[in-house]
Amino acid sequence: MSHSQTASPKLTAPDPAEKAKKAKPLKRGRPVGDREAKRKELLSAAISVIADEGYAGASMRKVAKKAGHTTGAVTYYFANKEEMVAAVADHVFDQFDATLDLNQNSVDVRSIVQKWLDWTSEEDTDTWLAVFQLLAHARHEPVFASVIRERYSRFRRALTAVLQRGQDQGVIRKDIRADLLADQLSAISDGWQMMLPIEPERFKPDRSQALLDTAITLISPTSC
């Protein structure tokens, strides 16, 4: 090679460690590790997507992207959007059931209602925003509607049992049937949760506590 010619630059192999840092592939195929933990991760992503995009705007692809998985990983757990949404509903009601399980041997209605308020009052309101989206579309989705009816009915029956124990112990009023009190408490709490994300100024801590006190007064034994 003459001195007038420019020598070719020397090629160096890329640093494997640096290459690994730059490449961040999505988690593909069948998820590995704790299946239940992965499923909960996807349900959390689904709740977030439904809260942000609405029921109609949510898709398995968006849920996969939110969770950092491929769509194939989502379909490993849920065959379609309807099955995924039904699983979201079950997941939310599982939290309700856990609250009632804490009252199996005692009657603490205040803690049950307080838990509802706490879920809605947290900075992350995705769960309740998603629930309202799902309830609005349930009448158009028969399969999903049946999940809502069955789980809500199960929850009211459990709440009724708690109130009946309270009536037997003399801490809950007896002049109104326990199942009617359960319906009233559910309706009151649902109404608060529906409006809190829209009118947060109405539900400052002091006023929320006053509303809770009022609800407990309504189901407490009458003085007459």
Least confident piece of the model among 21-30, 34-43, 73-82: 21-30
pLDDT of residue 4 exceeding 70: no
Q: In this prediction, what percent of the chain has a pLDDT beyond 90?
A: 28
Q: Which tokens hold the place of 125?
A: 């309101």
pLDDT digits (tens, 9 = 90+) for 180-211: 999 999 888 888 877 877 788 888 888 888 98
The chain-wide mean pLDDT, for the chain, equals 79
pTM exceeding the 0.75 threshold for the entire prediction? no
- Rounded Cα distance between 69 and 89, Å, is 22
- Which amino acid is it at 152? Y
pLDDT over 80 (residue 33): no
Count of C-beta atoms within a 10 Å radius of residue 114:
17
Rounded to whole angstroms, what are the CA distances from 163 to 87, 101, 117, 152?
28, 13, 19, 16
Q: Rounded distance, CA 128 to CA 196, Å? A: 10
